[in-house]
Amino acid sequence: EVQLVESGGGLVQPGGSLRLSCTASGFIFSSYWMNWVRQAPGKGLEWVANINQDGSDKYYVDSVKGRFTISRDNSLYLQMNSLRAEDTAVYYCARVSHYHMDVWGQGTTVTVSS
Amino acid sequence: QSALTQPASVSGSPGQSITISCTGTSNDVGSYNFVSWYQQHPGTAPKLMIYEVSKRPSGVSNRFSGSRSGNTASLTISGLQAEDEADYYCCSYAGSSTFVFGTGTKVTVL
């Protein structure tokens, strides 16, 4: 079964850091671009970052540039630094196939609050 | 990187057809054949319903169809059913390996 499972979410204070992980199974992970997408409480989806198959190309939405870092080895990661209240969201990892996201994880919740 | 514009809500009776619009710009929806649509039920992850403007993944009902005219893409749900009640998001490739989502539309089955 093709599956993505996120982990690493939690409660963190403003200015703090958190590292999210996404573990893939059921497909050749190294063959796909991967996205991180987030959804703030009661809000819509927002594309956050993506990475190519070998990790050499990385792209970010403007609001997280310089604070978040996407990476991968046998799993996908999102290192989040200098966290702000507006980063509070459910974070999903998603497989990218020909410019659409065909497999999604169940999401991990990040709450930034003092 | 501005969000694509969708109506906040659309409703219809069972069996009717509804259409959700998704308006972008010539830098995203209007430039690429890479518009996709996602269905999201409360508390669950999004599910791919349409990709490349009008293609349906295996397993998605043929009651769902997509189209595009200029900078506006559309999702049509025909023969509306109770299970179609959910939030729907469009998404477009926006160049330079980036993506942009729509603002989301809540579909209510009356």
Give yes or no for B21 touching A (CB within 8 A).
no
| Beta-carbon separation of A45 and B96 below 8 A | no
Kindly tell me the burial class for residue A71, based on how many C-beta atoms sit within 10 Å of its own C-beta (0-12, 13-18, 19 or more). middle
Tens of pLDDT, residue by residue over B5-38, are 999 999 999 999 999 999 999 999 999 999 999 9
Strand partners, B86: B107
Give yes or no for B64 touching A (CB within 8 A).
no
Rounded to the nearest angstrom, the gap between the alpha carbon of residue B98 and the centroid of all alpha carbons in its chain is 18
Per-residue pLDDT of chain A (114 residues; tens, 9 = 90+): 999 999 999 999 999 999 999 999 999 999 999 999 999 999 999 999 999 999 999 999 999 999 999 999 999 999 999 999 999 999 999 999 999 999 999 999 999 999
The torsion angles phi and psi of A86, rounded to 5 degrees, stand at -75, -5
A 93-112 residues inside an 8 A Cβ radius of B: 94, 98-102, 104-107
Q: What is the rounded average pLDDT for all residues in chain A?
A: 98
Does B72 score more than 80 pLDDT? yes
Spatial distance between the Cα atoms of B90 and A44, rounded to a whole number of angstroms? 11
| Beta-carbon separation of B48 and A50 below 8 A | no
Structure tokens at B58: 């295996």
Q: For a pLDDT cut of 70, what percent of chain A falls above it?
A: 100
pLDDT score, position B1: 77
